[in-house]
Each structure stands twice: as structure tokens, then as C-alpha cells.
Amino acid sequence: MESPAVEVVDLVKRYGPTTAVAGLSFSAARGAVTALLGPNGAGKTSTVETCEGFRRADSGRVRVLGLDPVADAAALKPRVGVMPQSGGVPTGARAGEWLRLVAAFHARPVPPDLLLERLGLVSAAATPFRRLSGGQQQRLSLAAAVVGRPELVFLDEPTAGLDPQARRATWDLIAELRRSGVGVVLTTHHMDEAEHLADHVVIIDHGRVVAQGGVAELTDSRQELVFTWAGPLDTAALAAALPPGASVERRGEGAAAEYAVAGESPAGVGPEVVAAVSTWCAANGVLPEGLRVRRRGLEDVFLELTGRDLRD
């Protein structure tokens, strides 16, 4: 059987006393988009850089297209595209010249001008890397990762700091790579990015995988009823008015307070819960704004698994 695009088993990566990756395992299929999703400092970059052969694992096994990323680096180079978080382009290099140079190392490159156009970089082609805006630097780095028509690309936070247009152009390009059979492994802490692009999501926290699966698999198990209300609301009294087993949670404070009602069964809320909430609100002078039943999104699952505390 053909090996997966990426296979990581029990990876450990330490920096002095810091254990950045603490026994992490996942695999990424060929021709699919795999998102490594995690809060700051979760170990995503360390994991990806180990797969790229830039860092050595302290222990564990990493295979990329069936090969060892350090020992087989030369064989992997023409087959794997890399977009590092730092850009990876010499600061004095002009955008267009750099892309043409990278293209020249490959047998069948995508025409560089086409990529410059696709990524909105035509007007910046003669500009040195250090003078490009942050978003232009990101896009050039993405272009350099894909210009060689790789079988697999690693994209470390490909849309960090991009404006909505550039973000959308990047998403479109990633979707197109996937359609043409390229495997993509990307890191992100944007749920919507993972939700929009990924076939497989690997949620990482504290250097370990805390959950993984398709977006639907991770999210569609439960529904909840949500509404907002800026005034005071006695959650215990509301909970007491609900069918047995249903519960209420307040998320946020003041004008931003959102109330989430979980149903009595694992399947989520039924019509009787909606009726009970509406009746209680009417009796207590509460206008439940934006009242709706929704599936729990990836963000809800993510926060539940990784907590709500801010990370450094």
C-alpha cells in the first residue's frame, strides 16, 4: 500500500527544558488537506519543521512520502513545497526574480508570471522582499512553495496577517492544489480556515493531539440553542424551567453575553427545549436575540478541548 503523505508517530521535540512536542502522532493522506489546529505554542511549527527536515526529532518516527525528511532530504526536495512561517525568502531578493529562480530549480514549474498574477503580486514583482507588505511577503512565500508543482506542500500559518481578499485568494489556491491532487499540510489557529479547507483536522495542544477527524466528525454530534441578551438573566431559574437533563451556560459578559442551552439527549435540543426557553423568556421579560438552534462549530469543540485561557 502507498504510504501516507505524512506519518508522524510519537514525535518528541525539546528545546532545552521546554518540551514543544510531547509524543504526537497523526497521519496526513496524499491529495488531501490536513490542518494542524492549535493555540499559540501548541507545537504546530515544531511538528511541521520536523516534517520539513529543518529540525531533528528527539524521538519518534517521521515519514514524508514514505521517506525520512533528514536522511532523504535531497530526494524529497523536488517533491515537497515549503512555506515557512518566517517567509524563507532572502530580504534583498526581488519578488519576481526570486520566484523565477525557484522555478528554475524545478523540471516542470508553474509559469511564475501566472502565480504572480493569481496572488496579486504583479505590481510588486520588482520590489525587494523586505520592502513588501506583510501580506505580499506571505503570498510570495506561498508562490515559492507551490511553483515547482510539488506532490505535497507544508504551509505554516499561510493566512496569518492577510486581509480578507488575500486570505480568500490563498484559500482558493489551496483548494485548487487539492483538486489537482496535491497534498497540503497546513497549520492554523483559525477555526474557519480549518473548517473551510481541511479534509482532516488534527487538534493539537501542549504538544499532543487532543482530537482528530473530519470537520463533520468533530462537530456535528450535538446541537445547541443559543441566544444573546444584554440584561440580567438568572441561568439557574431558566435551567429549572427546562426539560430534565437540559442545561444552560453563559458565555461572555454584559452586552456580549451569549446563552447556550444544551439538550437533554446527546443528539441535542428538541422542539420542547425551544418552547421551554421561549416561554420562560416571555414570562421573565427577556427578549432572546438571535435565538437559533445550531450545530456546535469547530470553535466550540476547540475551546472545550483546549480551554479558554489565553496562551503566550
Ligand X SMILES: Nc1ncnc2c1ncn2[C@@H]1O[C@H](COP(=O)(O)OP(=O)(O)OP(=O)(O)O)[C@@H](O)[C@H]1O
Give 56 or 131: the residue with its C-beta nearer to ligand X. 56
DSSP for 58-70, please give it. Answer: SEEEEEETTB-TT
Three cell numbers written together for 136: 505580499
Counting contacts by CB under 6 A, is residue 44 touching ligand X?
A: yes
Give 207 or 288: the residue with its C-beta nearer to ligand X. 207
Q: Residues 167 to 206: which contact ligand X by CB under 6 A?
A: 189
Q: Residues 91 to 120: which contact ligand X by CB under 6 A?
A: none
* Cα separations in angstroms, 261 against 29, 269, 276, 301: 37, 8, 11, 15
Counting contacts by CB under 6 A, is residue 15 touching ligand X?
A: yes
Counting every residue written for the chain, the total comes to 312
Three cell numbers written together for 20: 514543544
Give 8 or 20: the residue with its C-beta nearer to ligand X. 20
Give 45 or 136: the residue with its C-beta nearer to ligand X. 45
From the CB of 42, what's the least distance to ligand X, in Å? 4
* Cα separations in angstroms, 113 against 116, 145, 308: 5, 15, 44
Tell me how far apart the alpha carbons of residues 44 and 64 are, in angstroms, rounded to a whole number.
16
Stretch that binds ligand X, among 12-20, 117-125, 216-224, 282-290 (CB under 6 A): 12-20
Give 34 or 46: the residue with its C-beta nearer to ligand X. 46
Counting contacts by CB under 6 A, is residue 20 touching ligand X?
A: yes
Stretch that binds ligand X, among 43-51, 96-104, 257-265, 268-276 (CB under 6 A): 43-51
Of 77, 121, 65, 74, nearest to 98 by C-alpha is 121
Give 53 or 148: the residue with its C-beta nearer to ligand X. 53
Tell me how far apart the alpha carbons of residues 262 and 309 are, in angstroms, rounded to a whole number.
22
Tell me how far apart the alpha carbons of residues 122 and 45 are, in angstroms, rounded to a whole number.
30
Say how many residues touch ligand X, by CB under 6 A. Answer: 12
Q: How many helices (H) and strands (E) does the chain have?
A: 11, 13
Stretch that binds ligand X, among 38-46, 86-94, 216-224, 225-233 (CB under 6 A): 38-46
Which chain residues interact with ligand X by CB under 6 A? 15, 18, 20, 38, 40-46, 189
